[in-house]
Chain A
């Protein structure tokens, strides 16, 4: 479903990723791990089209290397950036609904997806009416997660979704995501995470990024302490 061949990415003139060859098939759940600054975020942003890439990226058979970033969510890709990036002028619920409005989903479909988000992240419901600019750091991560779930019918990319969440919540969300994935066997998930224990038994594959290159790994090796 997602095929990166010989992908290199640079920011400005600085090369960050080198010659990546990664194939991810449908309904996989991939954990992306690596040290700080290894290039996890850069890889996700490259798939979203926010960096200059060489090589080719194919999504469901289609070459999207040169596609405008704004056109990619329309393919069913949901992306929750690491640094939240909420629209503070809107309420929490408006933030979550906006992608659906952009995609011009009909009311029923929008409602269905919103309900699903609230089902997975019930805490969002309690803060639905609050301005997104005022929520706490962890709450902001939840909103970003919810917003990504609205769009991701084919591929969901979460950049450190549990970072800054209280462990109890993180565990619950991990469970919920797992349930989502199990219920809907067509969605592919890519999650970067610095606390791999949360993904244990959930990720079907683990990729390790190091010095701009990717290799297969396993979560079990990752636990150091």
Chain B
């Protein structure tokens, strides 16, 4: 492997990692705060992508500039968060916070199944493609290989912004603190006046919107079709577990490992590319049973 190839693999890895992170971060947030492994995340991701493609297609058909696709991504993400995330938390999850965790998982699984069919009813079975956002930014040529600016530069930058922003939000804002407190102990949080219901609702909406944003960001790079969510969930789950419970930085680092692992696998030993996320997870957990950035939770005795 010469240096050029090495660098190419590096670029591909980073671009892919950025996408993986922006999809997995919402799941990490919801899991970190609510301890719910949100299977419906995959559907929210898919709906985010569909919405973006549809809205963009509609707006372009009216003759607007392709750059408008970017604000539409945000719009779609917010719509997903508010119109889907809100009701899911409010109507379903809220009723079962005091029930075993596996039930919460299954509620989201049921929602996932329902949303899969809803997507098909709304958008049909034919793949969608809407790449105006990506085309609007053009290409860069590196070592004779074309990369899209969108994937090579914009996505990594956005991922970084998300990382820093969320970190700041959770660690350094009051709302972030309230979220962390509620996470640890709902009742104790309520007894110091935190409206735990609202905190969870907001968190879930934000997490769902991030899922939608992941889909929106992915939408110009890929075909949008039934079943796309299922794939993403498994990958995001792997990221969440490898990262350590709810660790946003861990998720970023894991995404990077997965991205680089996959691209180097494609260059060196393509047959193993599919296995990369699982192998990384196995190896990381073997060395660090609490995940990359997790810390052992000792029981108070």
Contacts and interface: CB of A to CB of B under 8 A. Distances in A.
Name which of B190, B193, B197, B300 has the most chain A CB atoms within 10 A of its CB. B193
B181 A87 contact: yes
A120 B43 CA distance: 53
Given A87-B181, A90-B181, A94-B177, A99 B187 contact: no
Contacts of A133: 300
A147 B180 contact: no
B12 to A, nearest CB: 37
A174 B300 CA distance: 27
Interface stretch (A66-74, A163-171, A186-194): A66-74
Interface string A59-80: 0000000001111111000010
Interface in A40-89: 48-50, 68-74, 79, 81, 85-89
B185 A87 contact: yes
Contact of A101 (B174, B180, B185): B174
A68 to B, nearest CB: 7
A50 B189 CA distance: 12
A93 B183 CA distance: 19
Interface string A98-115: 110111000000000000
A72 B180 CA distance: 21
B44 interface: no
A129 B300 CA distance: 19
B245 to A, nearest CB: 12
B177 A81 contact: no
A89 B184 contact: yes
A94 B189 CA distance: 13
A59 B214 CA distance: 48
Given A68-B195, A70-B196, A70-B197, A98 B190 contact: no
A68 B180 CA distance: 20
Contacts of A72: 193
Interface residues of B, number: 20
Nearest to B194: A102
A151 interface: yes
B171 to A, nearest CB: 10
B191 interface: yes
A69 B191 contact: yes
B169 to A, nearest CB: 15
Contacts of B180: 87, 89-90
B177 A151 contact: no
Given A70-B197, A90-B177, A94-B177, A99 B184 contact: no
A151 B193 contact: yes
A151 B187 contact: no
B193 A81 contact: no
Contact of B191 (A73, A89, A137): A73
A48 B193 contact: no
Given A70-B196, A70-B197, A101-B174, A48 B181 contact: no
B114 to A, nearest CB: 30
The 9 residue pairs across chains A and B that have the minimum distance between CB atoms: A73-B193, A85-B188, A99-B192, A69-B190, A70-B195, A70-B190, A102-B193, A87-B181, A79-B191
Interface of A: 48-50, 68-74, 79, 81, 85-90, 94, 98-99, 101-103, 133, 137, 147, 151
Given A81-B188, A87-B188, A151-B192, 7 more contacts: A50-B191, A87-B181, A87-B185, A88-B184, A90-B177, A90-B180, A103-B193
